[in-house]
Amino acid sequence: MLLLVGLGNPGAGHARNRHNFGYMVIDEIAKRHGFGSWRRRFQGHTCEGQLTGRRTIALKPSTYMNLSGQSVGSAMRYYRLEPESVIVLHDEIDLAPGRVRTKLGGGSAGHNGLRSLDDHIESNYRRVRLGVGHPGDPDAVADYVLRDFAKADAVWVDAVIDAVAEEIGTLAAGDAAGFMNKVSLAIAPLRPGPPDDQP
């Protein structure tokens, strides 16, 4: 079994925030792969489906970002899962807009959602890091991630959502390198940056 977690903050006012990139992607994954209806469980919302024949629970914690670990920990205990069976999708300010990277384990790099997960489930889970860029000023980060994507970002944001949702089965099957290659190729023509910006 796989637990697929999208990080974000609940409520319509946060729906298009940069900090809700994980929510946005997991919604599309559930829709595209025919998961069941969302329902309230584990201090969040879950739905169930399959990715490459593997039973998969999608989870959106509704505890607000800095308490996400409570929801994820509750689901893991119920299903008796280890961190290695968890994939977390989250916004990443240390990646340029439109970049996507995967990582197994590591630190939180100041991300409140990841810090909460590390506190509750340890750190040896797979992360899908969804680049949103950095505002340039460390003091501006909190406001930056809690603001909506700009209208001009829609093309690359939608491309990231589409590519990750389309290729998530490759990652679920354990092929992180294959997932990264396919996603990078799909996003490259639409990602912001100079023409020679290659994956």
Determine the 3-state secondary structure of 127 from DSSP.
strand
Q: Which one, of 135, 139, 125, lies nearest residue 93 by Cα?
A: 135
User: 169-181: buried (b, 16+ CB within 10 Å) or exposed (e) per residue?
Assistant: bbbbeeebeebbe
Q: Which one, of 58, 71, 51, 50, lies nearest residue 26 by Cα?
A: 58
> Is 45 labeled as catalytic in the residue annotation?
no
What does the alpha-carbon distance between residue 191 and residue 158 come to, in Å, rounded to a whole number? 10
Angle between helices 68-79 and 112-121 (to 10 degrees): 40
Token digits for 174?
A: 């354990």
Map tokens 């990841």 to a residue: 114
- Which of the following is catalytic: 19, 33, 45, 90? 19
The residues annotated with a catalytic role in the active site are 19
